[in-house]
């Protein structure tokens, strides 16, 4: 248990200190320029003392989701599309900052093939409404989110953040 391969394929989980954790693909992208968030009782966390934690910045999160997309199953793809949509909706007012994260901190550290995949993601994955986008709209809990809206938000957002020449 906890080996690196299972039946010739990479093992999806690993046991560390008796706890099963999921191995993350492309984790190096998530580690680029993380944000620091302070958790405390004052902002809703039941902690005796403040704790500073590092989290992936939104641009790294979006990049990682695109780079692992082809390896994900149908259900995971739909969830990832919804997460990407929600990230772009949440951070849309800061799209210029997301672009700056891309150009300054993430793009310079990526292989050219991965850079090209991210630059083309807007059209490649969100150029038309697809079955994964339709599935993402169905799993949006408590809201009516049309597939066309998911496609438009993601297409526009990915182009603004990652596309060359913008």
The per-residue pLDDT for 9 is: 55
What is the average pLDDT score of the chain? 89
Digit-coded pLDDT (tens) for 116-127: 999 999 999 999
Model's pTM, two decimal places?
Answer: 0.82
Tokens found for residue 72:
């994900």
Residues 120, 123: Cα–Cα separation, whole Å:
6
Distances (CA, A) of 45 to 38, 41, 48: 10, 5, 9
Digit-coded pLDDT (tens) for 26-76: 788 999 999 999 999 999 999 999 999 999 999 999 999 999 999 999 999
Tokens found for residue 24:
């993350």
Digit-coded pLDDT (tens) for 88-98: 999 999 999 99
């Amino acid at each position: 248990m906890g080996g690196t391969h299972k039946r010739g394929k990479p093992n999806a989980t690993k046991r560390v200190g008796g706890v099963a954790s999921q191995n993350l693909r492309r984790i190096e992208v998530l580690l680029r320029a993380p944000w620091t968030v302070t958790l405390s009782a004052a902002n809703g966390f039941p902690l005796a003392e403040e704790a500073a934690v590092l989290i992936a910045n939104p641009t790294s999160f979006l990049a990682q989701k695109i780079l692992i997309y082809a390896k994900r199953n149908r259900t995971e793809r739909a969830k990832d599309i919804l997460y990407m949509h929600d990230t772009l909706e949440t951070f849309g007012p800061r799209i210029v900052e997301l672009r700056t994260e891309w150009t300054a901190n993430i793009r310079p550290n990526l292989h050219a093939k991965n850079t090209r995949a991210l630059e083309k993601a807007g059209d490649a994955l969100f150029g038309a409404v697809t079955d994964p986008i339709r599935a993402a709209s169905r799993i949006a809990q408590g809201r009516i989110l049309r597939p066309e809206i998911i496609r438009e938000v993601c297409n526009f957002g990915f182009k603004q953040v990652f596309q060359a020449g913008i």
